[in-house]
Chain A
Amino acid sequence: MQKRLANWGNYPAIVSEESSFTQEDQLRRFIGENTHLIARGNGRCYGDASLGEHSISMLKYDKILDLDTDNGILETQAGVTLDQILDLIVPKGWFLPVTPGTKFITVGGAVASDVHGKNHHVEGAFSGHIIDMDVITGDATVTCCSPELHADLFWATCGGMGLTGVITRVKFRLKKISTAYIKQAQIKAKNLEEVIRLFEEYKHYTYSMAWIDCLQKGDSFGRSILIVGEHANPDELNARQQASPLKLTPKRKLAVPFNLPSFILNTLTVKAFNWLYYGKNIKREIHNVVPYEPFFYPLDAILHWNRGYGKAGFVQYQFVLPLEQKDGLVAILKRISDKGWGSFLAVLKVFGKQESLISFPMEGYTLALDFPVRKGLFAFLDELDEIVLQYGGRLYLSKDARMKQEVFWKSYPHAKRFAEIVARYNSGNRFISLQSERLSLTK
């Protein structure tokens, strides 16, 4: 069916022929007979990665195949979303090994983006927890791969944005929990220096990230709230929570019903919001126990929050810089704060070490923020890209909708090897996305 498709940033939007599958043989036949294909999950990457001429919707390829509750191993088809998994595993005392800031993504998408979470500095990215997976490659056959088996395919598929083929099945390890709650601490930092020091001081916490106000200047430049947490033990809960420590009461969700006019988000409203957000924590430090949902997925409580940016959409800009390049972080933040085009809030996090072929994370600082699409934005982001390059950093392909191809090839050190492996498995260039064409990863 011809469909208008866009990912979470609502930019770019295209018309694509969408096909949906429930059976492996149907999917294999379809892949064997078509070209210009790209797999697509729940459309929560931000840019143009899962957009193409023919999209293969994996949302109905959503069967849970095995759950080993003794050893914490889950095997699912690729179209199962993380929220469905959480509903199943949390009451049984298990949690996702890694989760991004939304639970509305598919398992296949988690692999293709090699997603990271607040625990990256301790537990790495999603790829580190996969036991094995199936990929239908360009020759329409199914290949099971793992770090031991067809390792080249495995590593090019983790973070490979769907270019090696369609991920159909993933088996991965879960994490044991004894409650559905998080013991969290929120610490206010007056400026960038302080928040960076706090990250170091609190690095023994499994989960950490900071909300940073990008519009502040002078002494308050980079003022932030650091949020850290651990899965709570039953004895840390109150009496009501202790009655059923693994069960949460469902909350009503708000929704943004339609695209808001873009003038609603301007420097003034963003400043006011940030002032309120920062000001709501009156004490410097807050310690409390909260359900896992608001801790990991604060924005999931507002369905379609992306409509807040209006019809033109937005671009999320996320980069990482090596740990020793703090100056680069300052330089970029300065540019963003001077320009005043940034979003509500930006997220700052320190990544740990990660060996990978094409995954985004590397040891260092990562910053993510939204920019509503407007005239002059892309030229400005090109300038930021130059600084990222200069300091040895790179951009997250799952967020990207506009990076120039040179920036990609210069910033990802194994880009060439990745492209060679893609060429090997993506025979006849069957899998092509808007992004892979833009970055010249496929012909």
Chain B
Amino acid sequence: MPTVLLLGAGSDMAIAIARKFAAEKYNIQLAARNTAALEPLQKDLQIRYGITATTHSFDATAFDTHPAFYTALPVQPDITICVFGYLGDQTKAQEDWTEARTIIDTNYTGAVSVLNVVAESYAAKKAGAIVGISSVAGERGRQSNYMYGSAKAGFTAYLSGLRNRLFRSSVHVMSVQPGFVNTRMTQHLTLPPLLTAQPEAIANAVFSAVRKKKNTIYVKWFWRYIMLIIKLIPEGIFKKLKL
């Protein structure tokens, strides 16, 4: 049975992805800071889907621990999905470096740190798939969330570079660009229903895109075109908009 490693397994999106892969008979490695909180999900996956699920302590911003974390996994995963992220508070981050830094460290530095380790291992064995959950927020900086957006932009660029490099090693790297997703991270926001995806939709899209070895997917699909339009707006006009 193949194994999937979920980095940041506590989120709504991670739960949906874990269930989707477990239903398709993958063993699941759940990694997050608080492993005790992962236990109900671990049991749920094993009971519902008859697979093996394990929990592993992982802190995205404890960069030094990442190599040891990966080596200590009981099985080397066939697919690694980097789900963790931190939306943060844009206004606070403008004045408070600690907040700004947490946003950057979680969404960018932490992801790069851990995926570097995974990438080396996959490159050496010439197999494996890496999936990074980035965000459409990274496609153009906007005043309302450019801290998060710029970190995700860095992450998206990292994934595309990694994809380019590992192509010759037969390692598949996929970027996922979700638009609005209905999760705990966004539950204080009022999101337009038609533009908002459920975590289960992300999970299904990720699963089938990994199978088809897609490079970049947007969920929902029309976000590709929404972002295309947003990117086409000339900067002279864009800077005057309240986005």
Contact = CB atoms under 8 A, between A and B. Distances in A.
Best-buried of B10, B12, B187, B189 by chain A (most CB within 10 Å): B187
A65 B42 CA distance: 9
A60 B12 contact: yes
A88 interface: yes
Interface stretch (B43-51, B66-74, B86-94, B141-149): B43-51
Interface string A326-353: 0000000000000000000000000000
A20 B37 CA distance: 16
B184 A22 contact: yes
Nearest to A18: B187
Interface string B180-200: 000010011111000000000
Given A23-B37, A88-B48, A65 B43 contact: yes
A276 interface: no
B12 A1 contact: no
Best-buried of A18, A63, A66, A77 by chain B (most CB within 10 Å): A63
A65 B15 CA distance: 15
A88 B46 CA distance: 12
A88 B47 contact: yes
Interface string A61-80: 01111110000000001000
B43 A66 contact: yes
A63 B43 contact: yes
Interface residues of A, number: 20
Interface string B27-61: 00000000001001101100110000000000000
B187 to A, nearest CB: 5
Nearest to A61: B40
A-side interface mostly: mixed
B10 A67 contact: no
B188 A64 contact: no
A387 to B, nearest CB: 44
Best-buried of A21, A22, A60, A62 by chain B (most CB within 10 Å): A22
B41 A20 contact: no
A19 interface: yes
A22 B15 contact: yes
B44 A22 contact: no
Contact of B40 (A1, A65, A84): A65
A377 B71 CA distance: 69
A19 B37 CA distance: 19
A2 interface: yes
Given A1-B187, A23-B37, A64 B44 contact: yes
Given A22-B10, A22-B184, A23-B10, A77 B40 contact: yes
A251 B151 CA distance: 46
Interface residues of B, number: 16
B48 A64 contact: yes
A40 B41 CA distance: 21
Contacts of A66: 43, 47
Interface in A1-46: 1-2, 18-23, 25-26
B40 A63 contact: yes
Interface in A78-107: 84, 88
Contact of B184 (A20, A25, A62, A63): A20
A407 to B, nearest CB: 38
Nearest to A74: B47
A21 B187 CA distance: 10
A22 B47 contact: no
Best-buried of A2, A21, A64 by chain B (most CB within 10 Å): A64
A62 B40 CA distance: 9
Contacts of A18: 187
B22 to A, nearest CB: 12
Contacts of B41: 63
Nearest to A23: B37
Given A77-B40, A88-B48, A1 B190 contact: yes
A63 B10 CA distance: 13
Contacts of B47: 64-67, 88
Interface in B1-16: 10, 12, 15
Contacts of A22: 10, 12, 15, 184
A1 B190 CA distance: 6
Contacts of A62: 44
Contacts of B187: 1, 18-20
B202 to A, nearest CB: 14
Nearest to A3: B190
29 contacts: A1-B187, A1-B189, A1-B190, A1-B191, A2-B190, A18-B187, A19-B187, A20-B184, A20-B187, A21-B184, A22-B10, A22-B12, A22-B15, A23-B37, A25-B37, A26-B184, A60-B12, A60-B15, A62-B44, A63-B40, A63-B41, A64-B48, A65-B40, A65-B44, A65-B47, A66-B43, A67-B47, A88-B47, A88-B48
Interface of B: 10, 12, 15, 37, 40-41, 43-44, 47-48, 184, 187-191
Top 6 nearest A-B pairs by Cβ distance? A63-B40, A63-B44, A64-B47, A64-B44, A67-B47, A65-B43
Given A1-B189, A23-B37, A62-B44, 15 more contacts: A1-B191, A18-B187, A21-B184, A22-B10, A22-B15, A22-B184, A26-B184, A60-B12, A64-B48, A65-B43, A65-B47, A66-B43, A66-B47, A67-B47, A84-B48
